[in-house]
Structure formats: structure tokens, C-alpha cells
Amino acid sequence: MSGDGASEQARSRFQAELEFIQCLANPNYLNFLAQRGYLRERPFINYLKYLLYWKEPEYAKFLKYPHCLHMLELLQYEHFRKELVNAQCTKFIDEQQLLHWQHYSRKRTRLQQALAEQAPQQQPTQQHGNATAK
Amino acid sequence: SYDGGESTKERLVSVLDDLEVLSRELIEMLALSRTQKLPQPGEDVQILEVLVQRDREFQELMAVAQSQGKLHEEMQRLEKEVEKRDSDIQQLQKQLKEAEHILATAVYQAKEKLKSIDKARKGSVLSEELIKYAHRISASNAVCAPLNWVPGDPRRPYPTDLEMRSGMLGLMANLPSNGVNGHLPGDALAAGRLPGQNTHTHRCTLVGRLRGDAPSSSRVRSGFGASGTQQGERGGRGKHELNLIFILNCITGWTTRVTKPQLRSLYLRFCLKNVP
């Protein structure tokens, strides 16, 4: 019985930490945390350091939003944590994040355009490329 | 020079001097004997005898000198030979040193290579898993924007406020969420059409719950789509579905709150909605 309880606890802890770490990918949430002063507290900073275990492959494979890992790495630095209090800073981060997010799709459209400009014989290859590109 | 301290050269020179003196005396005596009688009758014979002896000595000494010369040549030849061998040994020494250096480098490089092989082996991931993961994060538009994305589209590369509130942590805080007129929030969320998804709200209490604090009061300020926003409790089923949709993408099949057939149908519905 106690074994079940422990595993249930472990599962919910896993879920909670998984959700929380992915929330760190949201710059607005980071701003919120900074303005509430959470990023200045020692226990919270230690918790961020503890969360670094999500970088290992056997845990990272559960992450849907990998941007959170980069944010977590940046959060280890005090300077970054201090800067997050500014709304301008997080707005900038948000913008850059979106631009980066769009970068791959732009690259893909450019690639598709390049393929489209080639000879029509490439047609079957192009369609095949579309299907497997993502 | 050896035995007696007189070198061959000195002896030769002294013998030659003797010969010179003797022959001069003889010649003088012969010249004198033309005009007057010899004071000592056997003297010229004596001188001749000594002369002959000296000549014999001279010949002997010459022979000795020759043999000495030969020995000297032999010595020089051997010295040359020794020099040659010495240079050979030095050459071999150099080559040996070079070879040792090259081998040491090779061994070091090989060790480094082995180290990197071990490291790579430790960090190896199944290619199939990589592909599965890549597919998962791409299909949900988490790392690459959808092709039809324009500014104003609520989809983001990070979990939006609504998703955060719908997760386990959000539910633990028991916060009222923004539903839309009785429609299943799950459908609208899946289609990316739910308004208020990107509200700049300062109400999130996920961390608060983690620390055991009481949930703070809410202050919702929606960025757009305020018309469709309604405050209200979600139904039990809606709660489950939203939760599921967030978690499904994280840990497939982890939840036990929904039965397997429900899970499958929801997953299918979600996938179909998200097909570009």
C-alpha cells in the first residue's frame, strides 16, 4: 500500500515538475516570477538548479517545448534573473523567441520556393519532401 | 719515439751525419795521399769499413722507417673507420629518438580517440527515439512556427496562460478559468481559436501552489477577444480533457483519470484538428 502511495507521489511530482519547467519557456511568466520576487529567493534558485536534470535525454524526451531548457540555463545566471524584472526585457525576449520560432518555417518556405524554381521533373521529389519535412 | 728516446728520424739523421763526415775524411785522405805518404797505413781501410758499417745501419734504419710508415697508415685507416662507425651510431640514435617520438604521439592520439569513443557510446540515443521526438515537437509547432502563422495568431512556442492553468498545477490551485459559452474548451484550444490565450495575466499561482501558499486573487486582463471570455467553472469532463490535451503531448498514456478508449478518441480528435 505504501509502495503505491510512493509511486503515486512520484508520478504527480514528475508531472508537476514537467509542467513547471515548460512554463519557463514563457517569457511573460518569467517576468511575472521576477516581479513577484521569486527569482531572488535562495530556495527558488536552488530549485532551478535542481531542475537541470531535465537536460538529460531520458527526461528531455518528455518535453514538448524545448525552449524551456534554454531559458532554464539562462536562469542559472543572476544577471539574467535581475534583468527579467523589466517588462521591456521580457518583451524583447518574446519577440526574439517568436522570430526564431518562425525562422525554421521561413527556411522551409525558401527551400520550397527554390525547389519550385527547378525543372518540373523535380515535382515528385518535391511532394515527397513536403510530406516528410515535418 | 720509443726505447731510448731517440726517434727513427733522429737516428737516421745522425747516421747520415756520420756518413757525411766519414766520406769527407776519406776524400781528404785520398786527396792528401796523392801528394804525400799516409801517416797511418791502415787508416783509409778503417774509414772505409766504418763507412760501410754506417751505410748498413742506414739501410736498416730505412727499412724500419718504412715499416713504421706502413703502421702509421694502418692506424689512420682504422681511425677513419672508427669515425665512420661513430657517425653511424649517432644517426641511428637520431632515428630511434624520432621513432620514439612518433610512437608516443600515436599512442596518445589513440588513447584520446578511445576516450571519445567511450564518451560517444555513453551519450548514444536510439535513432528511432530521436525521430519520434523530432516528430513530436515539430508536429505540435513547438519549435517551428506553423506555415500560416501571422501576428495575432495565439499559438506560441511556449505554453500559453490557458494551457498553464489547465495543467495539473493550475488545477491544484482550483482557479476558475476562461471557458467559452459551454463549448468544450478542449476543441477550441486544439483549434487554436480560443480567445484570451495570450492574456498578460499576473495571476498564475503555479509556484505558489508548489510552495504551499494560498492561491492569490485573480486579476485578468485579456489582450484580445474579450468578447468571448466568460468566467465560470468548467465541468468535470472538460477539466479532464483540457488536462489530457496538455499532458498527452508530454507523457502519452501517463494519466489514469481517463479510460483508454476515451484517451484514444481524444487523441485522434486532437491530431485531426492539428493537421495543417
B33 has a pLDDT exceeding 50: yes
CB-based contact (8 Å) between A53 and chain B? Answer: no
pLDDT given at position B28: 86
The model's pLDDT over B74-132, given as tens digits with 9 standing for 90+, comes to 999 999 999 999 999 999 999 999 999 999 999 999 999 999 999 888 877 777 888 88
User: B206 to chain A: which residues are within 8 Å by CB?
Assistant: 19-20, 23
B87-101 CB burial, b ≥16 within 10 A, e <16 = eeeeeeeeeeeeeee
A129 CA: distance to closest CA in chain B (Å): 15
Q: How confident is the model at residue A4, as a pLDDT?
A: 74
Subunit contact B200:A11, Cβ cutoff 8 A? no
* Residue A65 distance to chain B (closest CA, Å): 5
Contact between B246 and A19 using a beta-carbon 8 Å cutoff: yes
Residue of A nearest to B156 (CA): A98
- A25 Cα to chain B: minimum distance (Å): 5
* Residue contact A61–B164, C-beta within 8 A: no
The CA distance from B84 to A68, in Å, is 75
pLDDT in the model for residue B177: 46
Q: Which of residues 66-125 of B touch A (CB under 8 A)?
A: 123, 125
- pLDDT of B264 > 70? The answer is no
Cα atoms in the 13 Å half-sphere on the side-chain side of B112: 6
Best residue in B122, B136, B138, B158 to probe A by mutation, most A CBs within 10 Å?
B158
The full set of domain ranges for chain A reads 10-108
A107: pLDDT strictly greater than 70: yes
Structure confidence at residue B216 (pLDDT):
38
pLDDT of residue B256 exceeding 70: no
CA distance, residue B241 to nearest chain A CA (Å) = 16
pLDDT score of B158 more than 60: yes
Least confident of A71-85, A107-121, B182-196: B182-196
- When pLDDT is averaged across residues B16-23 and rounded to a whole number, the result is 90
pLDDT band, residue B272 (cuts 50/70/90): low
**Confidence band, pLDDT 50/70/90 cuts, at residue B3:** low
Asked if the C-beta of B160 comes within 8 angstroms of chain A's C-beta atoms, the answer is yes
Q: What are phi and psi of B185, to 5 degrees?
A: -60, -25
What Rg value do the Cα atoms of chain B yield, rounded?
Answer: 60
| Stretch A37-58: mean pLDDT | 91
Examine the predicted complex and report whether its ipTM is higher than 0.90: no
Per-residue pLDDT, B100: 97
Most confident of B13-17, B193-197, B252-256: B13-17
Tens of pLDDT, residue by residue over B93-102, are 999 999 999 9
Taking CA atoms, what residue in B is nearest to A132?
A: B135
A50 touches chain B (CB under 8 A): no
Q: Given a cut of 50, is residue A5 above it in pLDDT?
A: yes
B201 contacts B219 by C-beta, under 8 angstroms: yes
Instruction: Report which of residues A76 and B178 the model is more confident about.
Output: A76
Separation CA A96–CA A87 (nearest Å): 14
- Window from A18-27, A30-39, A120-129, B55-64 with minimum mean pLDDT: A120-129
Q: What residue spans define the domains of chain B?
A: 8-123
Dump pLDDT digits (tens) for A49-71. 999 999 988 888 899 898 999 99
Q: CB B210 to CB A16 under 8 A?
A: yes
φ, ψ for residue B178, nearest 5 deg: -90, 105
Q: Which residue has the higher pLDDT, A116 or B259?
A: A116
**A22·B129 Cβ contact <8 A:** no
CB A132 within 8 A of CB A65: no
B155's torsion region: left (phi>0), alpha (psi -120 to 50) or beta?
A: beta
The DSSP line for B4-16 is SS--HHHHHHHHH
Task: Using an 8 Å CB-CB cutoff, list chain B residues near A56.
Answer: none
- A64 inside 8 A of chain B by CB: yes
* Interface membership of B155 toward A (CB under 8 Å): no
Q: Does B139 touch chain A (CB under 8 A)?
A: yes
**What fold characterizes domain A10-108?**
Arc Repressor Mutant, subunit A (1.10.10)
Q: Is A59 on the interface with B (CB under 8 A)?
A: no
Helix (H, G, I), strand (E, B) or coil at A14: helix
